[in-house]
Amino acid sequence: MPIYEYECQDYGMRFEKLVRSIHSAERIACPSCESKSVERQISAFATVWSSQGVSDSLPSGSTCTTGLCGL
């Protein structure tokens, strides 16, 4: 199940939601104001490069979000 990032068009809050399927009939609502006027956002994901290849998570305390840190 993918996690999608949304932005409430009424309240302006950005939030994440675990969605069973992209084709789900479930209407996503803002957790703050319960508005159904939300828009899915394009999310960037982080990767960490090391001498062994790509790690799927950031090391503790890391602020690298580009995947290019330490190159």
Comparing CA positions, the residue from 28, 26, 30, 27 lying closest to residue 8 is: 30
Structural domain spans, the chain = 3-55
Question: Distances in Å between the alpha carbon of 46 and those of 1, 7, 21, 25?
Answer: 18, 20, 23, 29
Over its length of 71 residues, how does the chain's per-residue pLDDT go in tens digits? 678 899 999 989 999 988 877 676 678 999 999 999 999 998 776 666 666 655 555 555 555 555 555 54
8-44 as b/e: b if 16+ CB within 10 A: beebeeebebebeeeeeeeebbbeeeeeeebeeeeee
Q: What is the pLDDT of residue 71?
A: 47
Q: What is the pLDDT of residue 27?
A: 86
Q: What is the pLDDT of residue 43?
A: 72
In words, the CATH class of domain 3-55 is: mainly beta
